[in-house]
Structure 1
Amino acid sequence: MISIFDEGAPAPCPDTFNLTAHVLAHADDLPDKIALAVLSPTGSDRWSYAKLQAAVLGTGTGLLQKGFNPGDILLMRLGNTVEFPITYLAAIAVGLVPVPTSSMLTAPEVAKMVAQLSPAGILHDAGVACPNDTGLPVIDTAELLAMRDLPPADYAMGDPNRLAYIIYTSGTSGNPRAVCHAHRAIWARQMMHDGWYGLHQSDRLLHAGAFNWTFTLGTGLMDPWSVGATALIPAKDVPIEALPLLLKRHDATIFAAAPGVYRKLLNHHENLDLPKLRHGLAAGEKLSTALCDHWRRATGTEIFEAYGMSECSTFISASPDRPATDGSLGRPQKGRRIAILGPDGPVERGEEGTIAIDRNDPGLMLGYYGAQEETEARFQGDWFMTGDHGTMRTDGQIDYAGRGDDMMNAGGYRVSPLEVETVLHHCPGIRDIGVTDVEIKQDTSIVVAFYTADATLPEDALNAFAQQNLARYKQPRAWVRLDSLPTNPNGKLSRKALKPLFLPTKQPD
């Protein structure tokens, strides 16, 4: 039996479609229902569906009045506020193409995006790093706030396969890649509702992430809104240890977070009284059996894991109706066509290979911006190759076998060591550099930089250079000077050989 999962194609996306119109489809029949509550220990900022839709479509009008035209790319440099999803959906509603970016990126990192994309404008919060010499129109948060009260724009309906938004992911070449997604991507996410969330209109889903993280944007906001549920998001200054209070006080039925958040919660709370919580959701890095067991003891509920990537969101997952067993990732969601491939095609079930998804999956990216050859290089025939390895059991469950490349996982973000090395090569005093992630304790990995230099360099200077040029999650948490970097027989850097060379005298903070 070969390793192909195919239980039939999903329902086709309508011929005329708009991502934002789909997300806010319940605004007319549930106008007074709370769509969003931004939570703090002292209260909440509540948004009804009617208020949310008015803000989104008013902002859409404002963006068009600024002279932007359908198809224009807008780079989003906004902070962790509700303005982020409002502006994102507004741009898509009127046919513009937003590029949501992490507020942790540095100005030099953003400058590379500007050079690659040539956006028509930048949407900018003054507290978020951004180059100031781009020559592009800049819309600040005060202007965006004023747009909310403008008359509503009409939805720009059209081909579901047209470009809707662009997100960035680390590239194995060392340069971040701009991933282009179609409007149909939101339609494809319906396969996640049953295949991962167990999501219903009555749910109140609390996502622990920031507004300006794509995991939050999809799982925490757009998916609940698309079914008429309520999204709960902690305010930006709420500490992780306060989340149980918010979960209980606001009757959260589903909790979504990266595995690291679950670990920190359990470090602060041995037992959690969450009577309305049905289950948790996790993605971003592999979830350990030990962490699941700990959560189950503390709450009496399960955590359901999902596997995906920037190019196709999540497509393998466990769910309340189809739980994983023995540490597997779960099963491909119904409607997906997934395979485990070797050099000659699908392998037998039980054999290791590369996890791959069908070229025609409605949630798969359109391609990498301006990089057709690089896009096609990710395919093997009709299959998109994820680069991650796994095995398929006879019942369709997928066991994760690790990365097929050197990609690092930093707090739920996939980071290319080449990208970090390219930047650190310019650090004064460093002759050569190698970067990898190292597990310092169960379920906790950090980015470590190994370098050669004439003498050991001051860590303060190394950290300062990294902070100026790399987003926080890309920065090394430890530095190790070596006489030489280990190489393989072909003379190439061996990152696997670097890992055992890290012998910390203390745990990094």
Structure 2
Amino acid sequence: MFSLFDQGPPAPCPDPFNMAAYVLGSAATLPEKPALEILFPDRSEVWTYSELEKVVRATATGLQELGLKPGDRVLMRLGNTVEFPIAFLACIAVDLIPVPTAAQLTEYEVGKIIHEIEPKLIIAASGVPYPSDPPCRVVTEEVMVAMQSLPMADFILGDPERLGYVIYTSGTSGKPRAVCHAHRAIWARRMMWDGWYSLRQDDRLLHAGAFNWTYTLGTGLMDPWTKGATALIPCPGTDSTTFPQLIRAHKASLFAAAPGVYRQLLKTNETIDAPQLRHGFSAGEKLPISTKERWRTATGTEIFEAYGMSECSTFVSGCPDHPPSKRSFGYPQQGRRIAVLDETGALVPSDTLGTLAVSNRDPGLMLGYWNAEDETKSRFIGEWFVTGDTVSMAKDGAITYLGRADDMMNAGGFRVSPIEVESALNAHPDVHESAVAEVRVKADTTVIAAFYTADKPLTDDDLNRFAATRLARYKTPRLFVRVETLPKGANGKLLRRALRQEYEDLHGQA
């Protein structure tokens, strides 16, 4: 039996279609229901579905009045505020192309993005970096908020295959890639409702992330809104150890967080009284079994994991109706076509190591990388988009994750290319060469470590300051280690795994 899962295609996406109109559809049937509650220590800021639709469509009018036309790119440089999802949906409502970016990106990194996507507009919040001499118009967050009093724009409907939005991910080449998604990508997320969340219209879903994180944007906002549920988002600066209290006080039935958040809140909460909570879910990186077990003991509920990526969101997961075994990540969601391939692109037998791949028929799969046709083609073998992750598939479809087939790293749910970090460090005048790897420092904790050669030891402060000018904080190494030489293969290729193994052996973390 071969490692292939295919139980038929999902329902086709409606045509014509608009992603924002679909996400906000509950405004017509549930106008006064809370769509969003922002949780402050002493209050909640509540947005109903009708209010949310109004400000999105009014903001869309404001963008049109700036002279923007369908297909124009809008670079989003916004912080952890509700204006982030409002701007995102407002663009999509009138066929502008939002490009959300992490607020942590440096001016240097943002400059490269601007050069690549050539935006017609930048929406920028105070304190969020962007070049001082941008080649297009910039409007402030305050100007965008003022647009919310304008009349509501009509949704522009069209081909569900047309470009809807662009998100950035670290490419294996070391250059962050702009991933282009169609409007129909949101329709594909319906497969998560049963396959991961067990999402219901009466759910109150608390997401621990910030508004301006794509994990929050999809799982914490777009999905509950599409279903007609209520999204709960903590205010900026919320301490992760207080989430148990928020879950109880705001009657959250579902809780979403990255593995690091679960670890932090369990440090100070051995028991969690949350009578309305059905379960939690996690994504971004592999969740340690020990964390799952501690959560189960503390709450009496499960955490269900999911596997996805920027190019295809989430397509493998566990759920209450189909819980995974102790070792597996979960199962391909119904409607997905998933395979495990060898290096030639052939299917491997069940329970055999190979590379996880998803069919080009998947409605959640990207359209491609922006202006990078060759790199887009390089990610496919026949019909299969090759993820680069090593897995095995059991006869029943259960997926066991075994790591990256390349050297890509994970930093708090963000994928980071070692080549990008090395390129930044190698520009330091005293660094001859560097190699970067993700190393384990505790049983359930990994960090990005930089190994470098130099004529003399360099201080961590010096290297941190230099990196901060070229790299977002989450990409910056947490460890700097000077070495005599860097291990290389016969072809001169850096052997990052050897560095990682040597470090972990030396520090007892292997």
TM, length-normalised to structure 1 = 0.98
Q: CA, structure 1 residues 506+351, in 2 after alignment: closer, same or farther (shift >3 Å)?
A: closer
Residue matched to 1:397: 398
Paired residue type of 2:241: E
Contact kept? 1:180, 1:365, Cα under 8 Å: yes
Q: Distance in 2 between matches of 1:504 and 1:457?
A: 24
Paired residue type of 1:205: L
Please state whether the residue corresponding to 2:157 is helix, strand or coil: coil
Paired residue type of 1:165: Y
Please state whether the residue corresponding to 1:316 is helix, strand or coil: strand
Task: Report how far residue 503 of structure 1 moved.
Answer: 7.0
Task: Report how far residue 326 of structure 1 moved.
Answer: 2.0
Contact kept? 1:38, 1:44, Cα under 8 Å: yes
Residue matched to 2:65: 65
Task: Report how far residue 268 of structure 1 moved.
Answer: 1.5
Residue matched to 1:345: 346
Q: Distance in 2 between matches of 1:379 and 1:315?
A: 17
Residue matched to 1:454: 455
- Which 10-residue stretch deviates more, 486-495 or 262-271? 486-495
Residue matched to 2:376: 375
- Which 10-residue stretch deviates more, 127-136 or 201-210? 127-136
Task: Report how far residue 505 of structure 1 moved.
Answer: 11
- Which 10-residue stretch deviates more, 491-500 or 476-485? 491-500
Contact kept? 1:77, 1:100, Cα under 8 Å: yes
Q: Distance in 2 between matches of 1:313 and 1:446?
A: 24
Q: Distance in 2 between matches of 1:88 and 1:407?
A: 28
Please give the per-residue CA displacement for 1:320-375, whole angstroms capped at 9, x wherever unaligned: 11100122011100000000011241111111111000011000000000001100
* Residues 1:279 and 2:267 are matched in the alignment: no
Q: CA, structure 1 residues 374+505, in 2 after alignment: closer, same or farther (shift >3 Å)?
A: closer
Residue ranges of structure 2 left out of the alignment (5+ in a row): none
Q: Distance in 2 between matches of 1:404 and 1:468?
A: 30
Residue matched to 1:146: 146
Please state whether the residue corresponding to 2:216 is helix, strand or coil: helix
Q: CA, structure 1 residues 226+59, in 2 after alignment: closer, same or farther (shift >3 Å)?
A: same
Paired residue type of 2:65: Q
- Which 10-residue stretch deviates more, 422-431 or 202-211? 422-431
Q: Distance in 1 between matches of 2:402 and 2:41?
A: 41
Residue matched to 1:17: 17
Contact kept? 2:440, 2:504, Cα under 8 Å: no
Please state whether the residue corresponding to 2:358 is helix, strand or coil: strand
Please state whether the residue corresponding to 2:149 is helix, strand or coil: coil
Contact kept? 1:288, 1:327, Cα under 8 Å: no
Residue matched to 1:211: 211
Give the alignment's Cα RMSD to 1 decimal: 1.3
* Residues 1:191 and 2:191 are matched in the alignment: yes
Please give the per-residue CA displacement for 1:57-79, whole angstroms capped at 9, x wherever unaligned: 00000000011111000000000
Q: Distance in 1 between matches of 2:89 and 2:396?
A: 39
Contact kept? 2:441, 2:504, Cα under 8 Å: no
Q: Distance in 1 between matches of 2:506 and 2:93?
A: 53
Please state whether the residue corresponding to 1:345 is helix, strand or coil: coil
Q: Distance in 1 between matches of 2:337 and 2:504?
A: 43
- Give the alignment of 1:29-178 within 5 angstroms: 29-178=29-178
Residue matched to 1:296: 296
Contact kept? 1:40, 1:246, Cα under 8 Å: no
Task: Report how far residue 102 of structure 1 moved.
Answer: 0.5
Paired residue type of 2:34: I
Residue matched to 2:229: 229
Task: Report how far residue 504 of structure 1 moved.
Answer: 11
Contact kept? 1:41, 1:242, Cα under 8 Å: no
Residue matched to 2:261: 261
Contact kept? 2:439, 2:504, Cα under 8 Å: no
Contact kept? 1:480, 1:502, Cα under 8 Å: no
Residue matched to 1:475: 476
Q: How many residues are matched?
A: 507
Contact kept? 1:166, 1:178, Cα under 8 Å: yes
Q: Distance in 1 between matches of 2:221 and 2:505?
A: 40
Q: Distance in 2 between matches of 1:29 and 1:432?
A: 60
Task: Report how far residue 12 of structure 1 moved.
Answer: 0.2
Task: Report how far residue 491 of structure 1 moved.
Answer: 2.2
Q: CA, structure 1 residues 344+227, in 2 after alignment: closer, same or farther (shift >3 Å)?
A: closer
Paired residue type of 1:366: L
Paired residue type of 1:291: T
Residue matched to 2:437: 436
Paired residue type of 1:40: F
Tell me the percent identity. Answer: 56
TM, length-normalised to structure 2 = 0.98
Q: CA, structure 1 residues 506+490, in 2 after alignment: closer, same or farther (shift >3 Å)?
A: closer
Q: Distance in 2 between matches of 1:295 and 1:153?
A: 45
Task: Report how far residue 428 of structure 1 moved.
Answer: 2.1
Please state whether the residue corresponding to 1:322 is helix, strand or coil: coil
What stretches of structure 1 move > 3 A for 4+ residues in a row?
500-507
Q: Distance in 2 between matches of 1:495 and 1:285?
A: 20
Residue matched to 1:489: 490
Contact kept? 1:41, 1:246, Cα under 8 Å: no
Residue matched to 1:358: 359
Contact kept? 1:253, 1:278, Cα under 8 Å: yes
Please give the per-residue CA displacement for 1:204-228, whole angstroms capped at 9, x wherever unaligned: 0000000000000000000000010
Q: Distance in 2 between matches of 1:503 and 1:402?
A: 16
Paired residue type of 1:428: P
